[in-house]
Chains A and B, each alone.
Chain A
Amino acid sequence: EPEVTQTPSHQVTQMGQEVILRCVPISNHLYFYWYRQILGQKVEFLVSFYNNEISEKSEIFDDQFSVERPDGSNFTLKIRSTKLEDSAMYFCASGGQAVPGANVLTFGAGSRLTVL
């Protein structure tokens, strides 16, 4: 069964460093997402991406965050200058349908980011 692949599975970084989390979505999917889950808290939406641009973003997704689809297979989340509160599990997801709201998302296993 097709799956979404995320790397790294765990990254430890120093506060202020740049981090890039990588995702390989399902190959024929067109919609891409990042969510995060701070330990003990809810899974929160960060950003959705379609047709090479951001379609929606949350308040969390400030200027420190950016997303990119640099080639036909990867989808990346960059945090420019990490803060302690960025420590979380980051989930990438992709979806293939064009029906708003009914898009079934396939999630990756997550990348755990620890900021020291």
Chain B
Amino acid sequence: AQSVTQLGSHVSVSEGALVLLRCNYSSSVPPYLFWYVQYPNQGLQLLLKYTTGATLVKGINGFEAEFKKSETSFHLTKPSAHMSDAAEYFCAVTSPNNAGNMLTFGGGTRLMVKP
């Protein structure tokens, strides 16, 4: 079984500050990891994903995440927050042998950006 924990249901940063959204996973097999973002009244949009290869992955809108197997983490970062980054962010995990591509989501983190 797989699970995802996102520490902090709400994170508030100032515009221009570093964004760090935490994600820890549990998986008995090598994981595939995803970050999705949800803007108000919109669907879940893929930010980035890790499957194999380079552990630092870059996504859209200046976000990146690093897969750290030893820490079972996949934290999302952005060097400088923008007002438009305010949204809810979801970390998700699946596995290479999951033919149905079932994603297991974390509880989500709502990012607020202060002017």
Chain B interface size, as a band, is: 20 to 34
CA distance A31 to B99 in the complex (A): 10
Q: Is the CB of A107 within 8 A of B43?
A: yes
Instruction: With CB as the reference atom, state the residue of chain A lying closest to B6.
Output: A42
Interface hub of B95, B97, B105, B107 (most chain A Cβ within 10 A):
B105
Quick check: which of A43-51, A64-72, A76-84 contacts chain B, the rest being far away? A43-51
User: In the bound complex, what is the Cα–Cα distance between A31 and B102 (angstroms)?
Assistant: 11
Q: Which of A1-18 contact B (CB under 8 A)?
A: 3-4
CA distance A48 to B103 in the complex (A): 10
A109 to B42, CA, bound (A): 4
A91 interface hit (Cβ, 8 Å): yes
Task: Determine if B26 is an interface residue (Cβ-Cβ < 8 Å).
Answer: no
- Which B residues lie within 8 Å of A4 (CB)? 43
Chain A residues closer than 8 Å to B106, beta-carbon distance: 42
Would you call the interface of chain B mostly helix, strand, loop, or mixed? loop
Contact B105 A42 (CB under 8 A): yes
Residues of B within 8 A of A107 (CB): 36, 43-45
- Looking across the interface, which residue of chain B has its beta carbon closest to that of A6? B43
A91 touches B43 (CB 8 A): yes
Residue contact B46 to A105, C-beta cutoff 8 Å = yes
Contact with A along B101-115 (1 / 0, CB 8 A): 111111110000000
Could you tell me the distance in whole angstroms from the C-beta of A85 to the nearest C-beta in chain B? 18
CB distance from B37 to the nearest CB of A (A): 11
Question: Whole-angstrom distance from the CB of B89 to the nearest CB of chain A?
Answer: 12
A100 touches B108 (CB 8 A): no
Q: Which of B43, B94, B95, B97 makes the CB contact (< 8 A) with A108?
A: B43
Q: How many angstroms between the C-alpha atoms of A101 and B105 in the bound complex?
A: 14
Q: Are A101 and B95 in contact (CB under 8 A)?
A: yes
* A103 close to B (CB within 8 Å): yes
CB-nearest residue of chain A to B32: A101
Nearest Cβ in chain A — how far from B107, in angstroms?
5
Q: Which of A41, A48, A91, A102 contacts B102 (CB 8 A)?
A: A48
Chain A residues in the interface with B (C-beta under 8 A)? 3-4, 31, 33, 35, 41-45, 48, 50, 55-56, 58, 91, 93, 95, 100-110
